[in-house]
Chains A and B, each alone.
Chain A
Amino acid sequence: MADHHGGHHADGHRRQQQLQGEAADQAAAEIIKEQDRLLPIANVGRIMKQILPPNAKISKEAKETMQECVSEFISFVTGEASDKCHKEKRKTVNGDDVCWAFGALGFDDYVDPMRRYLNKYRELEGDRAAAAATSRSGAGAAAGPDHPSSSSSAAAATAGHFMFNAMDRSTDSSRQF
């Protein structure tokens, strides 16, 4: 097979392969970046299906358009919440900022349900934290950072790491393509 190529052609061929390899790497990186930009199509499709009657079908393109719309919705609201934090000289966008931003952007119907959801989440988190603390105290003293902000940072880092792994596994298992 190699005999079919002269020196020049061999060089060109190798260079072409190299370029294709680089292009493939770049394409792969872009695909990964693209996937991170959107919520998983399976999750979005499932929610859509729950809304529609049983005989309804959803084209893949419709799901893809919905994926784009949801990401834009998150960015739109987050941008508004972030601006508010900036004006108030705060560094962290929290749940209250997001709830406020819904109202500011005309999603009035979302504000009260989301505030209730957030409060319920905080209650549950408080209960779980208390339960975890009790469990930990049984095994021995749980020494944590004393400063609230340090505590928040440490917990956030831990949570982020844990969530990332857990969610990535979940995402992979639910991905269809």
Chain B
Amino acid sequence: MRQARPYSAMFAGGVSARTGPHALPLARIKKIMKRSAGDSSVVDGGGGGGGGARMISGEAPVVFSKACELFIAELTRRAWAATLEGKRRTVHKEDVAAAVQNTDLFDFLVDVVTADLGDDHTDYK
């Protein structure tokens, strides 16, 4: 059985939405993945095997296109809870930051949202 899966088949019958069957563009997801898969990093001389460079199979971005929807949904729901606590109906970035800080699972995002708040020089409130 062939391992390869031709992507062009996905568009047989026409593209029903702007990004086809996925809500997020696969090519962009793949680019983001390549950055942290060691695609352009220095080869790891100390490690065994093929070093640091990694290739990304075609199916991996497909998994992420769905996983990112779940992730955005979960973080948005928690941000909305913070919005409601503030008796507002507009989600601010501070609400997203609060959602991150209140959830252990999202610890890896603390630097991202903190930097975002720290860089803000304009107060829109």
Contacts and interface: CB of A to CB of B under 8 A. Distances in A.
Contact of B60 (A62, A93, A110, A126): A93
Given A92-B55, A163-B7, A62 B18 contact: no
A89 B49 contact: yes
Contacts of B112: 65, 68-69, 72
B47 interface: yes
A155 B68 contact: no
A35 to B, nearest CB: 9
Decide if the interface of chain B is mainly helix, strand, loop or mixed.
Answer: helix
B5 A40 contact: no
A99 B68 contact: no
Contact of B93 (A65, A109, A152): A65
Contacts of B91: 48, 52, 56-59, 62
Given A72-B109, A93-B56, A98-B64, A47 B23 contact: yes
B25 A39 contact: yes
Interface residues of A, number: 89
Contact of B8 (A144, A154, A159): A159
A139 interface: no
A167 B28 contact: yes
A168 B27 contact: yes
B110 to A, nearest CB: 10
User: Which of A79, A97, A121, A160 has most B Cβ within 10 Å?
Assistant: A121
B80 to A, nearest CB: 6
A51 B11 contact: no
Contact of B37 (A38, A78, A102, A125): A78
Interface stretch (A8-16, A17-25, A127-135): A127-135
Contacts of B59: 94-95, 118, 121-122, 125
A44 B72 contact: yes
B7 A162 contact: yes
A93 B37 contact: yes
B100 to A, nearest CB: 7
Interface of B: 2-12, 15, 18-20, 23-33, 35-38, 44, 47-50, 52-60, 62-64, 66-73, 75-77, 79-80, 83, 89-93, 95-97, 100, 104-106, 108-109, 112-113, 116, 120, 124
14 contacts: A39-B29, A43-B19, A65-B116, A74-B33, A74-B64, A81-B60, A88-B49, A117-B66, A129-B9, A158-B7, A159-B7, A163-B26, A163-B27, A170-B19
